[in-house]
Amino acid sequence: MTPVTFQLNFTAGGYNAGFALALQEGLYKRAGLDVTIVKGQGSGVTAQLVAAGKADIAYADALAVMQLIAKGAPMKIVSTIYQSNPNAVTVLTASGIKSIQELKGRSVAVPTGQSQTAMIPILFKANGLVESDVNLVNMPGNAMIASLLQKQVDAMLGSLDNYDLIFRQRGVEVLSLPFADHGVATVSTSIIASDAALAQRGDIVRKFIQASLEGWDAAIKRPDDAIKALVQTFPTDTEPPRNLGELKAAISLMCKNGAKFVGKAEAEAWTRTVSVAQQVLGLSTSVPASAYYTHEFLPATLPTKCPLA
């Protein structure tokens, strides 16, 4: 068995249950890999670990990785699981707001320092608004839910796989307006690898991706089993009802953005993502989309076709 340490983007959740299922059902072992899955502290931190050579294979949001690659970090995105970011505008159903355009003249809670905030100009432009049309209220992410429930704001910038699940767990009816469906579709959470790992252990990376995508295929078909595997892998960090909601939200994003297969973002999706990143993050226009990703290490036959049944 070849030892492989896989660094996650965040703590254990339904959004990484496919990897847990691949681990617990022996898909990695069948590929000759002894995989250890390590929790993360955010995509930015995970991307830095790979850039610094402290992790070979990891899982992180594409935009966080692209920021470092544009500055010369030696790594690549090798397989995209979230074909779109999970960001969304969330409103209470009782508010009567049904579109981004109807935010004009309203107040919107904005999480300090999160990816949703950076995308506001593009989201508004795509929907016929400018920032001055809306009263943006900056606050910590953990304060937004209470603020919306208490009607201190009319809407908030949340996410399908986190904030929105909390509302629904509490029995609160909300309407989600995903960024991906309103002009801001960027490829998101992906498997990444250092250039050194790709050069020296390319066969290991290929086997890891193959087994991981088989794990995600099984998780899509058997979500309850995926959550059981997640609990087995991280027994002290899981909450099955919430994790199942996270997994279902993740699955809903796996065939967005023109994807033909789970795990592979198409070239057109990358072009759109790079355009957004250049506008939002100030990425150099001289760095081509091909500098950020490679399909070289994907299996010849991808296990899950889009759209999902």
Mind listing the pLDDT tens digit for each residue in 33-57? Answer: 999 999 998 888 899 999 998 999 9
Q: Just give the CATH number of 87-181.
A: 3.40.190.10
State yes or no: pLDDT of 299 exceeds 90: yes
Eight-state DSSP code of residue 305: B
Residues 140-177 have pLDDT tens digits of 888 999 999 999 999 999 888 888 888 988 999 999 99
Tell me the two tokens of residue 175. 């309407």
Helix axis angle, 202-221 to 240-251, nearest 10°: 110
* Strand intervals (E) in 161-288: 174-178, 190-194
pLDDT confidence bin for 280, thresholds 50/70/90 = confident
Give the three-class secondary structure for 37: strand
Q: Which H, E and C letters describe 141-176, residue by residue?
A: HHHHHHHHHCCCCCEEEEECCCHHHHHHHCCCCEEE
* Mean pLDDT score, 195-223: 97
The pLDDT, as a whole number, for residue 244 is: 95
CA dihedral 162, 166, 168, 170 (to 10 degrees): 170
The pLDDT, as a whole number, for residue 11 is: 87
Residues of the chain within CATH 3.40.190.10 domain(s) are: 2-84+186-291, 87-181
State yes or no: pLDDT of 111 exceeds 90: no
State yes or no: pLDDT of 275 exceeds 80: yes
Eight-state DSSP code of residue 308: P
**Secondary structure (DSSP) of 78-105:** EEES-SS--EEEEEEGGG---SSGGGTT
The pLDDT, as a whole number, for residue 44 is: 86
State yes or no: pLDDT of 119 exceeds 70: yes
The pLDDT, as a whole number, for residue 245 is: 93
Q: Just give the CATH number of 2-84+186-291.
A: 3.40.190.10
CB 262 within 8 A of CB 217: yes
The pLDDT, as a whole number, for residue 235 is: 94
- φ and ψ at residue 89, rounded to 5 degrees: -85, 130
Query: Distance (Å, rounded) from C-alpha 254 to C-alpha 236?
Result: 27
| HSE-CB for 148 with a 13 A CA cutoff | 30
CB 73 within 8 A of CB 46: no
CB 206 within 8 A of CB 299: yes
The pLDDT, as a whole number, for residue 23 is: 98
The pLDDT, as a whole number, for residue 113 is: 65
State pTM to two decimals. 0.89
* Mean pLDDT score, 279-291: 88
State yes or no: pLDDT of 10 exceeds 90: no
Q: Share the mean pLDDT of the chain.
A: 93
How many CB atoms within 10 Å of residue 107? 18
**Residues 6 or more apart in contact with residue 154 via CB below 8 angstroms:** 91, 95, 97, 103, 106, 107, 108
State yes or no: pLDDT of 73 exceeds 90: yes
pLDDT confidence bin for 247, thresholds 50/70/90 = very high
